[in-house]
Amino acid sequence: MDDLDRRLINRLQLGLPLVRQPWEHLAGELESSSAELLDRLHELLNDGVLTRFGPMFDIERLGGAFTLAALAVPEPRFDTIADLLADMPEVAHNYRREHAWNMWFVLACPSEQAIAETLLRIERLTGLVPLNLPKEETYHVGLYFPV
């Protein structure tokens, strides 16, 4: 990773400018070209330096629903169930925790009813009862990790 990669990652954490040509705008800020920045972004994603690049939506403002959930997965089944959840379009992401409830995931669905149906489907597919932890309050934390 060179200086331009670092500056690109740092700048992208602040969001894309809301202009007609955001990559041209960023190219001016970073003294590069839009093609170079997009190439570097794709390389960072392909190399696994970045795992995701995309918009963050407030699903509730869009009329949908989400919840945090967890499963207590026996270790021999962990990878299989993680892959199963990763293939579900409702699962925003899942991750391991060092706890009895060792697999945590976020569901984003069109409605509360769809959340309930998805949790039931996960139970049927895995034989494990999910722990549903719906949001009680919203906190906005501005994360920024300088590279």
Burial class (CB in 10 A: 0-12, 13-18, 19+), 130: buried
Please state, rounded to an integer, the average pLDDT across all residues of the chain.
Answer: 92
pLDDT in tens, 80-132: 999 999 999 999 888 999 999 999 999 999 999 999 999 999 999 999 999 99
CA distance 18 to 44: 23
User: Helices H, strands E: what count in the chain?
Assistant: 5, 4
